[in-house]
């Protein structure tokens, strides 16, 4: 009686074993999906530098208009919690792609994070000193004796002394009050500081909407200091996955930005429901309007969004080496994967 019983047990387990083997063999199928038209798509995650705001409109627009789908990509957009964390998550393979500030990419590579840029889109830095118009600040020299909210250790605070130096000033001429990123706007609105260090396409429109006061800017780029800002990044794991996935993603992102630039209001409308923390539509529109002024340097004007040059990369690396954010500057190829990037 024992042998037949053993046979029945093994026979009963056989279907379970087959299911297990089949599931293991098909585990990679989780990385793909099928479009409504029957096209096989690669599932891809993109983690932003922050919660969705106007700058991010092209990603939602590209998804809505099926630009990513055209390039064989099923895109999932995730909120971020700062460029540094996005760089780390991308390098560790916790997200396929990231949208992050180039200084954070440089610092990450400097620290051994396995990540590369596939192209910077904000090529004119949005870095700026922001303040209400009533502050009577018209030039960098007018910052003498003023208090400015910053965040210790971030790229803005580290490059601020370089900005001051290029305009004949020293850090001691200004009172920098350190606070967390979210507290900078509150500091200016409440009058605890005269200004803040921020990005022209981010805090300014929000602060103007909340306080119902005009916000003015001293843009670094208009006062002798420009460097690369936000762009598309990928980690080693993603660069090795699926052959041309990184190249297709770069092409889809570039095409989405070009399409959004032609239809800015439609692009902003595509963000509806993107986040519970989404700014009002008028703020998103102002943010994206400002972002569109940042897409090129003189070397890339008229070319596809995300087209980079080695000379612009070298300039950016030099700025952050001077600011102390990059301890051991490396060749451009260590930071930028030109082969998988946008061909202008």
pLDDT (0 to 100) of residue 4:
44
Nearest residue to 61 (alpha-carbon basis) of 50, 72, 48, 77: 77
Torsion (CA) 241, 243, 247, 248 in degrees, nearest 10:
-90
Q: What is the CATH number of domain 127-223?
A: 3.40.190.10
pTM for this prediction:
0.87
DSSP state of 336: B
Q: What is the CA radius of gyration of the chain?
A: 24
pLDDT (0 to 100) of residue 243:
81
pLDDT (0 to 100) of residue 6:
38
pLDDT (0 to 100) of residue 181:
87
Q: Are 126 and 201 in contact (CB under 8 A)?
A: yes
Residue length, the chain?
344
Low-confidence stretches of the chain (pLDDT < 50) are 1-29
Going from N- to C-terminal start, the domains of the chain cover 32-123+228-340, 127-223
pLDDT (0 to 100) of residue 240:
87
Domains 32-123+228-340 and 127-223 share a fold: yes
Name the CATH superfamily housing domain 32-123+228-340.
Periplasmic binding protein-like II (3.40.190.10)
pLDDT (0 to 100) of residue 242:
62
């Amino acid at each position: 009686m024992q042998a037949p019983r053993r046979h029945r047990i093994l026979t009963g387990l056989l279907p379970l074993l087959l299911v297990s083997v089949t599931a293991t063999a098909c585990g990679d199928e989780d990385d793909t999906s099928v479009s409504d038209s029957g096209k096989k798509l690669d599932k891809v995650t993109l983690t932003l530098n922050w919660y969705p705001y106007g700058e991010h409109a092209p990603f939602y627009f590209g998804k809505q208009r099926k630009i990513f789908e055209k390039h064989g990509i099923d895109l999932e957009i995730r909120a971020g919690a700062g460029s540094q964390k996005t760089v780390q998550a991308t390098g560790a393979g916790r997200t396929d792609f990231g949208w992050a500030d180039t200084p954070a990419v440089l610092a990450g590579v400097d620290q051994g994070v396995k990540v590369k840029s596939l192209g910077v889109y904000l090529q004119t830095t949005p870095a700026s000193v922001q303040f209400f118009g009533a502050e009577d600040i018209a030039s960098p020299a007018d910052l003498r004796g003023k208090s400015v909210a910053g965040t210790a250790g971030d790229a803005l605070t580290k490059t601020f002394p370089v900005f001051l130096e290029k305009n004949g000033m020293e850090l001691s001429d200004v009172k920098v009050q350190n606070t967390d990123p979210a507290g900078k706007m509150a500091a200016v609105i409440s009058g605890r500081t005269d200004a803040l260090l921020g990005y022209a396409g981010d805090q300014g429109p929000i602060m103007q909407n909340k306080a119902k006061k005009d916000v003015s800017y001293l843009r670094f780029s208009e006062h002798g200091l420009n460097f690369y800002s936000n762009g598309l990044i990928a980690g080693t794991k993603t660069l090795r996955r699926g052959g041309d996935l990184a190249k297709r993603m770069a092409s889809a992102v570039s095409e989405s930005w070009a399409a959004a630039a032609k239809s800015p209001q439609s692009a902003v409308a595509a963000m509806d429901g993107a986040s519970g923390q989404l700014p009002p539509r008028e703020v998103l529109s102002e943010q994206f309007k400002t972002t569109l002024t940042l897409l090129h340097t003189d070397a890339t004007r008229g070319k596809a969004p995300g087209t980079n040059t080695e000379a612009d990369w070298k300039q950016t690396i030099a700025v952050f080496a001077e600011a102390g954010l990059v301890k051991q500057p490396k060749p451009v190829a260590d930071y930028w994967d030109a082969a998988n990037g946008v061909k202008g």
